[in-house]
Amino acid sequence: MNITVVGSINLDLVASAPSLPEPGETVTGATLARHPGGKGANQALAARKLGAEVLLIGRVGDDVMADEALALLDAFGVELSGVETDVDAPTGVALIAVDPSGENQIVVAAGANHTITNAQLPARIESPLIVQLELPIAMVEAAVGRATAFVCANLAPAQPVSEQLLRRCDLIVVNEIEAAFYGDLLHRGGGRVVVTCGAGGATMFQRGEEVARAVPPTVTAVDATGAGDAFVGAIVVAMLEGMEPEAALRFACTAGALAATRAGAQPSLPSRDAVDALQSA
């Protein structure tokens, strides 16, 4: 299975704190960790660890943060020939605060992610494609427009996109907040729409009608960062493998739950063996 991911690459700076701050509040007593991240990179690695061959198209800065941001992708065999270096913009950074329950707050400084151009895209993207919205929307729409196979769009973070993009997608993945932002627009195409609800599981729709529902296994959450990206990588792999909707949702919910049991976005992404083992437990 070959998948192309066009998306963001970041270095995550994660502060694990006793609580998340309210507006204007300073919270002390945190510990700091650095992890590779970015929704595009996370979803590429998620799919790779679940058995797919993955090409990532993205952009990093000419700085030491780029090496950290790409380290796990390289270690697990994600194809990085589509990643270019920008000598003028820094590697993207996400500032993440996490509380003991695993809830988080995230602020992203896009850096080189927002200097990526259509020139990096092949004229035709013939393998299944995954996109998110941490790149310029024009770039995302160009990638989808050049796709000739299955297209999954994770519409996060929520922002306006063309109805043409929505209609082209075979699969749209959103959380509850994003689903509320897009409303009925999500269901105007013929593709499937998955709405995730964290510990509440996920529901799949087609043309506005529910076709499947699943809940994740019970786990002890440590850090929810990356859980949604694990879900996206897993649901795409499951659907491309031909799993039925309910089985695909269960598989993806299990991957997302496992990702929440460890700190960091990419370090927490589960292997295929781990997902299969938890499903059969």
**Identity of the residue numbered 52:** A
pLDDT at residue 281, rounded to an integer = 77
Give yes or no for a contact between 217 and 258, defined as CB atoms under 8 angstroms apart: no
Residue 80's φ and ψ, nearest 5 degrees, are: -110, 15
**Tens-binned pLDDT, residue by residue, of the chain (281 aa):** 899 999 999 999 989 999 999 999 999 999 999 999 999 999 999 999 999 999 999 999 999 999 999 999 999 999 999 999 999 999 999 898 989 887 888 898 999 999 999 999 999 999 999 999 999 999 999 999 999 999 999 999 999 999 999 999 999 999 999 999 999 999 988 899 999 998 899 999 999 999 999 999 989 888 787 899 999 999 999 999 999 999 999 999 999 999 999 988 899 999 999 999 999 87
Q: How far apart are the first and last CA of the chain?
A: 27
- Residue by residue, DSSP assigns 174-194 as EEHHHHHHHGGGGGSSSSEEE
pLDDT at residue 264, rounded to an integer = 81
pLDDT at residue 222, rounded to an integer = 83
pTM above 0.85, yes or no: yes
Record the tokens describing residue 252, joined without a space: 């993806």
Domains of the chain: 2-9+38-91+113-280 (3.40.1190.20)
The set of catalytic residues is 229
Query: Could you tell me which of 178, 171, 169 has the C-alpha nearest to residue 198?
Result: 178
pLDDT at residue 161, rounded to an integer = 95
